[in-house]
Chains A and B, each alone.
Chain A
Amino acid sequence: TQLLEQSPQFLSIQEGENLTVYCNSSSVFSSLQWYRQEPGEGPVLLVTVVTGGEVKKLKRLTFQFGDARKDSSLHITAAQPGDTGLYLCAGALANAGGTSYGKLTFGQGTILTVHP
């Protein structure tokens, strides 16, 4: 059972279309990060959200953290071929007392392909 469910797993769209990727959990996260990964490379951080209801924008990318800090979404407006890649959400579980040592729980990833 995946603690952080990411959907869809695959997304193939045409240039100019909009898309949304979702990450959902029944657990509460103290923070949630979105990474992008290209073939042959490691994931690279796009954004970190820490406050319930927080919205962050990075050019054509909009990230939202759910009010209850159990879910997050990534919306891309007017997708471009350069957006093609693997998108990963990763959360740091909120805990009562002990430290999580920065451990992250990753979603399964969304492979996005944007066709010219």
Chain B
Amino acid sequence: NAGVTQTPKFRVLKTGQSMTLLCAQDMNHEYMYWYRQDPGMGLRLIHYSVGEGTTAKGEVPDGYNVSRLKKQNFLLGLESAAPSQTSVYFCAIRAGGSAQPQHFGDGTRLSIL
């Protein structure tokens, strides 16, 4: 999806390992979001950011940390991966203003063994 790039696209980790997922945007949007998508549960918000240097917890933040040191990048970290964090992770961006849509990246498929 144009404007939102997620890396890596796939990753397999062992329990206890750490890793960072990167979301990069080229649309200069203020708002950025990290979701996880699991079968039958739609997308659930992990953390979000309303601008450079700001982060906030979403619906399911436990086990994750985030940082937004630069406006164009939003990082999602797993300090000690657990099998329950096996999921597909999506980053989304959004411009300001009411009823604006979110634009999603193509996701990172993460498996924790």
Residues in chain A within 8 A of chain B (CB atoms): 2, 4, 6, 9, 30-31, 33, 40-45, 48, 50, 88, 90, 92, 101-104, 106-109
Can you sample 19 A-B contacts with CB below 8 Å? A2-B42, A9-B40, A30-B98, A30-B99, A40-B106, A42-B1, A42-B104, A42-B106, A42-B107, A43-B90, A45-B103, A48-B99, A50-B98, A90-B102, A101-B50, A103-B33, A106-B43, A106-B44, A108-B42
Tell me the smallest distance from the CB of A100 to a CB of chain B, in Å: 10
B101 touches A50 (CB 8 A): no
User: B74 interface residue, CB < 8 Å from A?
Assistant: no
A101: chain B residues within 8 A (beta carbon): 31, 48, 50, 56
Chain B residues touching A, range? 20 to 34
Say yes or no: B101 contacts A42, CB within 8 Å: no
Bound together, the chains give a CA A102 to CA B105 distance in angstroms of 17
